[in-house]
Amino acid sequence: MKTETTPKMTVLHAPVGVRSIVSSLVAFFIVASSVTFLLDRGQEAQVQMAVEHGRQEMQVKLEAGLQEPAMRGTTDAGDAGEECNWSRGRWVYDNMSRPLYSGLKMRIFNGSLISFKALEYNATIDFYWSPLLVESNSDNPIIHRVEYRIIRADRIERHASVWRDADIIVFNSYLWWRKQKDDMRMKVMYGSFEDGDARLDEMEMIDGFEIALKKLTEWLGENIDKNKTRIFFAGSSPTHSWASNWGGEDSNKCLNETEPIYKIGYKAATTDYSLMAKAKSYFKTLEPKGMHVQILNITELSDYRKDGHPTVFRRQFVPLTKEQIANPASYADCTHWCLPGVPDVWNEFLYGYLMYK
């Protein structure tokens, strides 16, 4: 257990599902480098959605205005041995569930760590910012490079020492490796300035990802107690920046979208599937050691939710001007998700893994 109680600690409002998991596990639960935040969507029409998912039924109610959702998960008994296929399901309206949490009450950072302490359950849920997994020039959670990224090929310990004792670790890094432009490349640093042997290489994003995965899997293999810690890795979170993908106007991006895509099997053109395929191949190398990294394949179910992004209502360090708000092509955020919203359903699936598998 971590025992940090300082005036600067953050208390994240934990999704109910996760809370009740930790109550039974008395766990130290860490989410590394996740990318889910935001709210503030203004007073739009109420959107109430749920996922119907084969034998599992996950329900979430989203209110785009003040956004007080409710979640309810039900699972039929008798399918314990069967892997739930997250791609087989559809979003349905749910006007029954009542809100189970109200979003972002207190938020205090300690460097890269945001902690939520559930005292009544003796549990800690931490969010730890290390977006490129290994050490990088993007490690500052507030001021980080977005375009010019440099990773350190063989340095992970500063981050990993924070994860080491966790009972459950959930990694989430995909978006940071996706090419946002065709010519986007990753810089990789070997050696160090301190030792005078620093060397910088430049390579394709996926090759940089491979270097980070190699270091991560080596570290996990050597440091994680497989009898104690469960490891998850979030899959590709899709973006909705090209409205022509679903028959809209590209200049609007996902602004004013109020319904999911209903076309079964819809796939966002911007998702890079090669990254998670690479991740899977590295996680396989841990299997002979008896370690399993469970991928949370949220891609397809999130692909449908073009209406789930904060667009121009995203909270900004400097609020957008009227002119910027009127220019969704440049200023609508169709990458991050509103909370409460789609990521709550990712948590429901995580809950399913923790409770039933």
Q: By C-beta, is 85 or 180 nearer to ligand NAG?
A: 85
Three-state secondary structure call for residue 303: helix
Query: What's the rounded Cα separation, in Å, for the pair 20 and 342?
Result: 19
Q: By C-beta, is 153 or 257 nearer to ligand NAG?
A: 257
For residue 97, state whether it binds ligand NAG (rule: CB under 6 A). no
Question: Which residue among 1, 106, 198, 329 contacts ligand NAG (CB under 6 A)?
Answer: 1
Q: Tokens for 353?
A: 């893994």
Q: By C-beta, is 144 or 280 nearer to ligand NAG?
A: 280
* C-alpha to C-alpha distances, 348 to 67, 167, 298, nearest whole angstrom: 18, 18, 11
For residue 114, state whether it binds ligand NAG (rule: CB under 6 A). no
Question: Which residue among 40, 79, 107, 110 contacts ligand NAG (CB under 6 A)?
Answer: 110
For residue 92, state whether it binds ligand NAG (rule: CB under 6 A). no
Q: How many CA atoms lie within 13 A of 139 on its CB side?
A: 14
Query: What's the rounded Cα separation, in Å, for the pair 189 and 306?
Result: 37
Residue tagged 């300035």 (tokens): 193
* C-alpha to C-alpha distances, 35 to 201, 250, 307, nearest whole angstrom: 27, 24, 18
For residue 273, state whether it binds ligand NAG (rule: CB under 6 A). yes
Question: Which residue among 135, 139, 300, 348 contacts ligand NAG (CB under 6 A)?
Answer: 300
Which residues are bridge partners to 75 per DSSP?
Answer: 56
* Residue 214, H or E segment: helix 205-223
Q: Find the shortest distance in angstroms from Cβ 179 to ligand NAG.
A: 18
Q: Which residues bind ligand NAG (CB under 6 A)?
A: 1, 4, 6, 8, 26, 85, 87-88, 95, 110-111, 113, 122, 225, 227, 235, 252, 255-256, 273, 276, 280, 295, 297, 299-300, 328
